[in-house]
Chain A
């Protein structure tokens, strides 16, 4: 279980001269939930976007299952088994719920019915609404759809960018419960969160990102108990 699925080495990402990521290195091992936590603009999303191929990193490397995918086309990256739940859900509002799920399996040519059943199993609400357009769903339902859509690609590694953003606490609880279930079913998860409390509770290991660099790392439990993390990300009052 210690085989590395994803290795990031000395990653630099910049947008028009502004360096968002300045030399981040971390890894995700098979079967883990790893989380990157940090404030707005710390470089979490940029890291994820360059892993998924949406942004070409300036330097550094992204190795997925031993294969160098740095700066490759997203089509290739998706087909190698990496799926992303983008920030802000980004479901297709003009496609039905079922179509949104099917498009998550766009590159697959085999039968999808077993995986549809699996997603409906996690999110029964999506089955009820399968003929509705994605845009008519509530925020929480859209997040379920975004997760379900990513699962349809049968990813080896599921990356999630701020799944709790803008959702009611009870809905967030539900989403994290599903993340745990997905993980138990054998999918490796890389989770990016501002909601450090939830993320650290669910994660095996965590990295704290500050100003485009890794500031701290440890198991979820260790970081939950760390004074600095508690003060900066968990809202604990220092005495």
Chain B
């Protein structure tokens, strides 16, 4: 029983961390129809920045700085690599995103020398706590609540504010949005800022649990978050969050199955098998809009 609880707890926590990344994918897709392949690597860079900044600054200063610098990174990537291609075919932007992804990975290899870096112990988050007889870290307990809070704030931003209204308008129709006086590029930047900020928060939570960061550490969580976004229906925020929790929980359950069954190595394969199944049977995902191109 205790074992089941601990598996579920960590599944929910991993799911929450994926959710924070998945929102970045789904938001950007919603507006630009672009799969931002560099997003997972932005997440990794946020992790590395966490390591370097906490080494020289107190936590209370370094963590906000990590979020700020990640936002700046996301903003810069959009301005430098995607904005000049605004009128180019979608494929060009995607290739550009893949290029940025490798640039970030290679830069990280250059800076770290390719060695796994140890994520700092963050007081409180890394402390252990006893839940129903199971020892776990505070971060595991906190993650789902923090995710829920951020998702609620984000929904309010999107549904209740003027900039949120502009985001929804731009996601449907660039040209008419311009006719309303909306500055498309500012709205797109806001999207990248939000996505990057959430990825930065996700990186703090994620790497507190997985102590080592390599230059490729963003690739796998990024891909899984992407699958989560597709599973939930890319473009839909609730979809991305629910998809992420489902994938996180399934993955931890598979990892937690008795070792005599010898299936835990397939936990990643499961995620991608799930992607194939979704694409075959429900390509629009759980909450995605059906692909009808109205003219």
Residues of A bordering B, CB below 8 Å: 52-54, 74-75, 78-79, 83-84, 86, 90, 92-95, 99, 102-104, 106-107, 149, 153
Q: Which residues of A lie under 8 Å from residue B182 when comparing CB positions?
A: 75, 103, 106
A134 nearest in chain B by CB position: B172
On whether the beta carbons of A86 and B172 are closer than 8 Å, the reply is no
Q: How far, in whole Å, are A86 and B178 apart by their CA atoms in the complex?
A: 11
A–B Cβ pairs within 8 angstroms, 16 of them = A53-B178, A74-B179, A74-B181, A75-B181, A78-B179, A78-B180, A84-B179, A92-B172, A92-B176, A94-B168, A99-B165, A102-B165, A103-B180, A104-B180, A106-B181, A107-B181
Q: Tell whether, in the assembled complex, residue B178 and residue A106 are in contact, meaning their CB atoms are under 8 Å apart.
A: no
Is B166 an interface position by the 8 A CB rule? Answer: yes
| Alpha-carbon gap, A84 to B173, bound state (A) | 15
Query: Within the assembled complex, what's the spacing in Å between the Cα atoms of A84 and B166?
Result: 18
In the complex the two chains form, is B179's CB within 8 Å of A103's CB? no
Q: Is the CB of A54 within 8 A of B172?
A: no
Residues of chain A contacted by B181 (CB below 8 angstroms): 74-75, 78-79, 106-107, 153
Which residues from B are CB-within-8-Å of A149?
180
Interface residue B169 (Cβ < 8 Å from any Cβ of A):
yes
> Main SS of chain B's interface residues?
helix
A95-B168, A102-B165, A103-B169 given; A90·B176 CB < 8 A: yes
Min CB distance, B242 to chain A, in Å? 20
Whole-angstrom CA separation of A52 from B177 in the bound complex: 12
Q: From residue A82, how far is it (CB to closest CB) to chain B in Å? A: 10
Contact of B178 among A74, A92, A93, A104 (CB under 8 A): A74
Residue B175 lies at the interface, judged by CB distance under 8 Å to chain A? yes
Tell me the smallest distance from the CB of B284 to a CB of chain A, in Å: 15
Q: Is residue B90 within 8 Å, beta carbon to beta carbon, of the partner chain?
A: no
Beyond contacts A94-B172, A153-B180: 16 other A-B pairs, Cβ-Cβ < 8 A, are: A53-B178, A54-B175, A74-B178, A74-B181, A75-B178, A75-B183, A90-B175, A92-B173, A94-B171, A99-B165, A102-B165, A103-B166, A103-B169, A103-B180, A106-B182, A149-B180
The residues in B between 170 and 212 inclusive whose CB is less than 8 angstroms from any CB of A are 171-173, 175-176, 178-183
What B residues does A53 contact at CB under 8 A? 178
A54 touches B179 (CB 8 A): yes
- Flag if B165 contacts A90 (CB, 8 Å): no
A102: shortest Cβ distance to chain B, in Å? 7
Contacts of A92 in B (CB 8 A): 168-169, 172-173, 176
Given contacts A75-B183, A90-B173, contact A103 B165 (CB under 8 A): yes
Shortest Cβ distance from B171 into A: residue = A94
- Residues on A with C-beta less than 8 A from B183 are 75
| A153 CA to B243 CA, complexed, in Å | 40
Contact (Cβ within 8 A) B179 A86: yes
B168 touches A86 (CB 8 A): no
> A95 contacts B169, CB within 8 Å?
yes
Complex: chain B residue closest to A76, CB-CB: B181
Q: Which of B162, B179, B183 has the most CB of A within 10 A?
A: B179
B164 smallest CB distance to A (angstroms):
10
Q: How far is the CB of B33 from chain A (nearest CB, A)?
A: 15
Q: Which 4 A-B pairs have the closest CB atoms?
A: A78-B181, A107-B181, A90-B176, A74-B178
Q: Considering residues B162, B171, B173, B180, which has the most beta carbons from chain A within 10 angstroms of its beta carbon?
A: B180
**What residues of B have a CB within 8 angstroms of the CB of A79 in the complex?**
181
A153 to chain B, nearest CB (A): 7
Which B residues are in CB contact (< 8 Å) with A74? 178-179, 181
Bound CA–CA A153/B181 (angstroms): 10
With a 10 A CB-CB cut-off, give which of A53, A54, A86, A106 has the most chain B CB atoms: A106
Q: Roughly how many angstroms separate A95 CA and B168 CA in the complex, as a whole number?
A: 7
Give Cα distance in the complex from A74 to B181, angstroms. Answer: 6
Produce 1/0 per residue, B157-169, CB < 8 A to A.
0000010011011
Residue of B nearest to A52 (CB): B179
Q: Is A106 in contact with B168, judged by CB distance below 8 angstroms?
A: no
> Complex formed: what's the CA distance from A149 to B176 in Å?
11
Q: Which of A93, A94, A106 contacts B180 (CB 8 A)?
A: A106
> A153–B179 Cα gap in the complex (Å)?
11
Task: Tell me how far the C-beta of B183 lies from the nearest C-beta in chain A, rounded to whole angstroms.
Answer: 6
Q: Which residues in B have their C-beta under 8 angstroms from that of A54?
A: 175, 178-179
